[in-house]
Amino acid sequence: MDFLSRTPLGQLSVDAPENGMELVQGRLLKHGMASLALDDETGRRSFGFADDPPENLHTLREDDIVEMMLVAQDGQWRITQVMVLTPSQVEGERRELWRKRFEAQGDRWRRVLWARQRINQAVRSWFYGQGFLELETPVLVPSPGCETHLHAFPTRWEGPGDSFNQNFYLPTSPEFHMKRALVLGYEKIFQLARAFRNGELSRLHQPEFVMLEWYRAYEDYQTIMQDVEAMVWETAQSLNVFEVEDQGRRCRLEPPWPRMSVAELFATKLQIDLDSARTADDLRAQARAHGYDYLKDGEPFEDSFFRLFINELEFDLGVERPIILYDYPVELAALSRRKSGAPRYCERFEVYISGVELANAYSELTGVAEQQRRYREYQKRRLEEYGEPYPEDRGLIDAMKYGMPPAAGIALGLDRLIMLLLGAQSVDEVIAFPHKKPVARSKRRP
């Protein structure tokens, strides 16, 4: 948290000038005959009285919103007047609950949110400097995506007087509308988008989060690799942060970052040859031959792959230096295009820093027939596993029929990047209002 300790929050210094007066407002935290403790956005501070305590001192209550007139006296700020602006009206358990909530914010959390704003500014500044257009795409979408294991939040649009209704979803990513923008001629676009995924909650997951997504027309994933290195490094430099640490593992951020193919990673770490693992059975046979006997018979190639990846590889990726892991087997292509000259693989990469998956990128698929084939394949699998396929985005299909230029794009978890840059232990710590698992209420006796 070194950066946070250096982040100023306010203008009122602890040491007062020889002469001067200041008016401050905030919440009264402690109430005494010799001093009052105030909390405002500059922090939590106590002030003594300039002379005798104000006559209305007995009317003040802790948790009231107050205004204090301060005067410089003997090099310190002292109170001359205090007035209640808004009295606190909660009592008992509710008062204690709100006091705990207020205390939980504290000076450190405010510093986190100021730092978050600074990071957002640095990110936007990088994209503006590269000539990107910032988009704002819809949060009501006809299809939330096509990945089998991502779960969306459904919602419904009802017309005035029940004149019409239409089913929508909250987007798991802004991808589909960003691609429509590419079709419409916008060649360099980015977005800090609110995204939503149901069924996810961990130190790295929230049901709603900020996705930084950008696309370049007429480029491939090699250019996006250069983008993500440069953007992360320049953002970190704006904070004077040159390395990050997560779960005790340090990682230096300066580019260029090491790059490794997925096939090389599997061969080196697991002794598995992905070139010859053309089916799920092939992959499981090789894995079991080297002692990885926990894979499930009958599961798709993708599931066996990720079971190995998560259990054996992911935690150690991006230690000491960030790593760009590229060229995934075609079974994991999603909406990326096949690699030219190596059709066993697709032009997809992921970025890892200190074991944290930060970003996922493609050279984008532009063929409509192949996109529809893959979509139907993923939805068939989704129907088999979850009984709930998602509708195809007809607007995207129509746009792609009109013609989408060759392009590359990336989705980066902005909350995760902020977590790493600020040295937080979870994304909860860098979000103003993180969602928490509900606490079961005890049943009251009648």
What CA–CA distance (Å, rounded) separates 260 from 349? 10
Which amino acid is it at 335?
Answer: L
Helix, strand or coil for residue 229?
helix
| Predicted local distance difference test score (pLDDT) of residue 103 | 79
Q: What would the two tokens of residue 439 be?
A: 């606490």
The average pLDDT across 183-210 equals 97
* Angle of CA points 16, 17, 23, to nearest 5°: 60
The percent of the chain in helix, strand and coil, each rounded to the nearest 5, is 35, 30, 35
Q: Which of 158-172, 320-334, 377-391, 428-442 has the lowest mean pLDDT?
A: 428-442
Pairing of strands 43-49, 338-339: unpaired
Q: At residue 192, what are phi and psi to the nearest 5 degrees? A: -95, 95
Q: What would the two tokens of residue 276 be?
A: 């010859």
Q: What is the per-residue pLDDT across 264-288, written as a single tens digit (0 to 9) for each?
A: 999 999 999 999 999 999 999 999 9
Question: pLDDT-based confidence at 438, cuts 50/70/90?
Answer: confident
CA nearest to 353, candidates 321, 325, 327: 321
The average pLDDT across 351-371 equals 96
Contact 408, 224 (CB under 8 A): yes
Q: Which of 4-18, 154-168, 214-228, 419-433 has the lowest mean pLDDT?
A: 4-18
What CA–CA distance (Å, rounded) separates 134 from 171? 18
pTM over 0.75: yes
Contact 351, 228 (CB under 8 A): yes
pLDDT over 70 at 359, yes or no: yes
What CA–CA distance (Å, rounded) separates 239 from 253? 13
Q: What is the per-residue pLDDT across 239-250, written as a single tens digit (0 to 9) for each?
A: 999 999 998 899
Helix, strand or coil for residue 230?
helix
In the DSSP assignment, the letter for residue 367 is -
From residue 402, give the alpha-carbon distance in Å to each of 39, 55, 135, 364.
Answer: 58, 77, 21, 16
What CA–CA distance (Å, rounded) separates 157 from 177? 19
Question: pLDDT-based confidence at 108, cuts 50/70/90?
Answer: confident
From residue 270, give the alpha-carbon distance in Å to each of 264, 297, 311, 313.
Answer: 10, 19, 11, 9
Question: pLDDT-based confidence at 4, cuts 50/70/90?
Answer: low
What CA–CA distance (Å, rounded) separates 177 from 59? 57
Radius of gyration, CA atoms only, the chain: 27
